[in-house]
Amino acid sequence: MKRLGINTLFKFPNVPDFARSNFESHFIYADKVMLVFLGIQWFIATFITSITYSTYTYGFLSGGLITFSLMGAYRYFKGTQVMRALVAVAMMLFSLVFIQQHLGRIEMHFHIFIAMAILSLYKDIVPVFVAAATTILHHVVFNTLQFYEVTLFDMPVMIFNYGCGFDIVLLHGVFVIAEAFIVGYIIKLQIEYGVELNKSENKILGLNQELSFTSLHDSLTGLPNRYNLHSKLDIIVANANRYQRKFAILFLDLDHFKNINDTLGHNIGDTLLKSVAKRLQSLVRENDLIARIGGDEFIIILNDVEDIHRLEQVIIKILDSFRREWMIQDHLLRLSASIGVAIYPDDSTEINELMKFADLAMYKAKSGGRDQFNFFTSTLNHQIHEEVAIANDLHRALKDNEFVLFYQPKIEISTGKIIGAEALIRWNHPSRGMIFPDKFITIAENTGFILKLGSWIIDETARMIGRLCQKGYNEIHVSCNVSTRQFQNLNLYSEIENALIKNDIPVGLFAIEITESVMMEYLEVTLETLKKIKSLGIHICMDDFGTGYSSLSYLRQFPIDSLKIDKSFVDDITEGGDNSHLLLNTIIAMGETLNLHIIAEGVEEAYQMEYLFEKGCPYYQGYYFSKAIAEENFFTLCEINRAK
């Protein structure tokens, strides 16, 4: 059976969480109001005693004692149930003061009811019942004193001016308890009403929130969108300023996401993005922020980054989490991401600029080979400005004929003769002097300019072969480098074909060099293009071999004629060192099995050349014989070569 008590009778509605903190401040505010009431009563008590007893001391002292005690209690108990109970007691002590000053005059008892009404402002029943209990207690005590005619320090103890008796106390008690119940019930109704009101307000608020949620969030991942990010950043900036804290903006972009979308379909792509959002959320703290601002672009705001080392650890953790396997609808995917970082306020205090900086740093992480992060620095900024300047200058340079091809001879080790050359581009800049390809090829690739430049290179290589033939060198082939980007261009085949026809050269002398990564990136498309190009009869060389995926099974599929062993393997060959270069030997053996010509690049020393020859590599290229040189110098070398 349920026990009948205040709890069951006054079953208060549950106060929802969102309102609890409001309650706390409400109680503190009410405590203050009560202190004001106590102060007013102190004044009244002093005033009344000065009339009744022609001295204000009694009212002044007792009222002061009550009020000051409560002010003291406020310091320690404000907002708590204890404070409310103490206020209730204090209110009732004032009733006592008033009643006794008037020798128990019955009208003075009305103060009790007023005081209880005032206490109802708390919207809490506890003080009301404490007040009732206090009243009954002091009625009993003072009735007893009056009954036995005991006095306290000459003070009147009269509580009823018409005699005394416990029946009167009982009657008063019943009235006081009745009021307590009525006030308590009113409070309950008030709270219920408040909660209902709050609920409907919240419903409206909820609807609004739902509406704004869809406009502020990315519908795929549920993360904040770009617009939302900016409004949140305003708050984050304000907090950072107020507490003098730093925060980091991470610009994260998935590597090769387009491939996944293109090859496996958008459905898989979308599911992957959702998983990425989830994984990211599990990695950052609650007060950090993640937003999706574009297809595969995410912004992560990491708050309170005083320690750069710690920040780096978090970023490494994020990158690591990408390298783990992703199981998406029965597809096991490999993924990586590139991250650019800018820090507020160190890099800039302007949000748009910070975002741009983080983006630039990300771009740098991409061009540095992806799957890495990069902090924005002023050097980077400078570098990027320079890159932009270069990018803008490329078109003019091509028009003004500033690009030239240099030629690096390829040598047959057994005879020491030049069998061909690799064309390497140089930019003869009017004010900057000779610019090397590492300064502009990546930029040209990123901006798409490589397509134009590439076709010039192909043309120029063919013209060079024509000039060589004219001089009677019809055994020397020339190769040119072709970028990934050019392979995505449908015109590559016809560009090469046109160059061959226009210059009327033996097709076997024309060669292209492509890197392994070109092959692997868009495997199917590339393979098809490559086969078509091969059908022209030209020579195809796989460049930088050994640095990438290098798998024999792949190698078999590719229509290639030669392998160029990457310089890094040649660098490893040291004089008199431990020269058991397993990988190098395997590559050479592999090339032999597949009947490919093998050439080593970057040979700078005689012993490197000798070692290579010994292991079965018949050709090389490198500073040991010659750097890449201008056309007329190359002709001179050929001249000497002929005389050999």
CA–CA distances in Å: residue 5 to residues 11, 13, 181, 186, 272: 10, 16, 12, 17, 58
Q: Which does 457 bind (CB under 5 to 8 A by kind): ligand C2E, Ca ion, none?
A: ligand C2E
CA atoms within 13 A on the CB side of 378: 3
CA–CA distances in Å: residue 461 to residues 180, 407, 500: 103, 10, 10
Strands 403-412 and 373-375: unpaired
Shortest distance, CB of residue 555 to ligand C2E, whole angstroms?
A: 19
Of these, 437, 466, 548, 618, which contacts ligand C2E (CB under 6 A)? 437
The span from the CA of 128 to the CA of 136, in Å, is 13
Q: Angle CA(291)–CA(360)–CA(289) in degrees, nearest 5?
A: 20
CA–CA distances in Å: residue 469 to residues 466, 474, 478, 635: 5, 5, 11, 11
* Residue with smaller CB distance to ligand C2E, 131 or 421: 421
Enumerate residues 544-583 that contact ligand C2E by CB under 6 A.
544
* Residue with smaller CB distance to ligand C2E, 104 or 602: 602
Q: Note every long-range contact of 239-242, with CB atoms under 8 Å and residues 24 or more positions apart, other chains counting.
A: 239/303, 240/303, 240/344, 240/345
Spell out, one character per residue from 482 to 511, where the chain touches ligand C2E: x when CB under 6 A holds, - when not: xx----------------------------
Look up residue 456 and give its two tokens.
Answer: 């010039």
Shortest distance, CB of residue 496 to Ca ion, whole angstroms?
A: 17
CB of 600 within 8 A of CB of 619? yes
- Contact between 481 and ligand C2E (CB under 6 A)? yes
* Residue with smaller CB distance to ligand C2E, 116 or 394: 394
> How many chain residues are in contact with ligand C2E, going by CB under 6 A?
22
Of these, 134, 228, 374, 481, which contacts Ca ion (CB under 5 A)? 481
* Residue with smaller CB distance to ligand C2E, 80 or 428: 428
* Residue with smaller CB distance to ligand C2E, 130 or 600: 600
The span from the CA of 168 to the CA of 174, in Å, is 10
Strands 433-435 and 597-600: unpaired
Chain center to CA of 346 = 18
The span from the CA of 507 to the CA of 207, in Å, is 72
Of 41-49, 54-62, 389-397, 481-489, the window that binds ligand C2E (rule: CB under 6 A) is 481-489
Q: Which does 437 bind (CB under 5 to 8 A by kind): Ca ion, ligand C2E, none?
A: ligand C2E
- Contact between 218 and Ca ion (CB under 5 A)? no
Shortest distance, CB of residue 297 to ligand C2E, whole angstroms?
A: 28
> How many chain residues are in contact with Ca ion, going by CB under 5 A?
5
Which has the closest alpha carbon to 134: 122, 146, 144, 126? 126
CA–CA distances in Å: residue 562 to residues 418, 540, 559: 17, 7, 10
Enumerate residues 615-634 that contact ligand C2E by CB under 6 A.
621-623, 628
Amino acid at 164: C
Shortest distance, CB of residue 606 to ligand C2E, whole angstroms?
A: 12
- Contact between 464 and ligand C2E (CB under 6 A)? no
Of these, 167, 438, 578, 632, which contacts ligand C2E (CB under 6 A)? 438
CA–CA distances in Å: residue 71 to residues 111, 114, 208: 22, 21, 44
Spell out, one character per residue from 539 to 558, where the chain touches Ca ion: x when CB under 5 A holds, - when not: ----xx--------------
Of these, 143, 408, 455, 562, which contacts ligand C2E (CB under 6 A)? 408
Spell out, one character per residue from 416 to 435, where the chain touches ligand C2E: x when CB under 6 A holds, - when not: --------xx----------
Of 308-316, 474-482, 516-524, 584-592, the window that binds ligand C2E (rule: CB under 6 A) is 474-482
Shortest distance, CB of residue 369 to Ca ion, whole angstroms?
A: 16
Q: What share of the chain is helix, strand, coil (3-state, %, to 5)?
A: 60, 15, 25
Spell out, one character per residue from 181 to 220, where the chain touches ligand C2E: x when CB under 6 A holds, - when not: ----------------------------------------
Of 194-202, 432-440, 507-515, 626-634, the window that binds Ca ion (rule: CB under 5 A) is 507-515
Look up residue 149 and give its two tokens.
Answer: 């005619």
Q: Which residues pair with 167 in a beta bridge?
A: none
Which has the closest alpha carbon to 617: 587, 572, 575, 637? 587
Q: Which residues pair with 155 in a beta bridge?
A: 152
Of 4-12, 203-211, 503-511, 597-605, the window that binds ligand C2E (rule: CB under 6 A) is 597-605
CB of 63 within 8 A of CB of 41? yes
Residue 216: phi, psi to the nearest 5? -105, -5
Cis peptide before 156 (omega within 30 of 0): no
CB of 453 within 8 A of CB of 398? yes
Spell out, one character per residue from 127 to 166, where the chain touches ligand C2E: x when CB under 6 A holds, - when not: ----------------------------------------
Binding interface with ligand C2E (CB under 6 A) = 408, 424-425, 436-438, 441, 457, 480-483, 543-544, 601-604, 621-623, 628
Binding interface with Ca ion (CB under 5 A) = 481, 513, 543-544, 601
